[in-house]
A = this chain, B = another copy of it.
Amino acid sequence: MRRDIFQAIADPTRRAILVLIALQAMTPNAIAEHFDMTRQAVSKHLKILTECELVKQEHQGREIYYLLEIEKMKEIDKWLEQFRKIWETRFEQLDALLATIKKK
């Protein structure tokens, strides 16, 4: 199975789960209540998120709380970095251009 963060966040439900548990750790049942699908479907998503370490478990009796692994999210940010460089450069160029026009 090919599991990477980008494939993990491709699914809108998984993105919603990440936002949900970012605020507060939750059990699969609690998460499922927020969606129109079975607990098992949510569990499948959680499994994928766990596999690529975007989420981790915390056992509490028979309940399992899922919480966000914020560190892993930085990898997306890291990939974006190469493009951020480009748009910042372009912004500077635009800025310089505007300054030139103003001068005239």
Q: Specify which chain B residues have a CB less than 8 angstroms from the CB of A82 in the assembled complex.
A: 19, 22
CA separation between A87 and B22, bound complex, in Å? 11
**A2 smallest CB distance to B (angstroms):** 8
Copies in the complex: 2
Q: Specify which chain B residues have a CB less than 8 angstroms from the CB of A74 in the assembled complex.
A: 87
Dominant secondary structure at the A interface: helix
Whether A80 lies near B76 (C-beta < 8 A) is yes
CA separation between A61 and B82, bound complex, in Å? 31
CA separation between A86 and B9, bound complex, in Å? 18
- Which of B6, B70, B84, B86 lies in contact with A10, CB distance below 8 A? B6
Q: Enumerate A71-104 residues with CB–CB distance to B below 8 Å.
A: 71, 73-74, 76-77, 79-80, 82-84, 86-87, 90
| 10 additional contacts (CB under 8 A) given A6-B9, A76-B76, A80-B80 | A10-B10, A18-B83, A22-B86, A68-B83, A70-B90, A71-B87, A73-B87, A74-B87, A76-B80, A77-B84
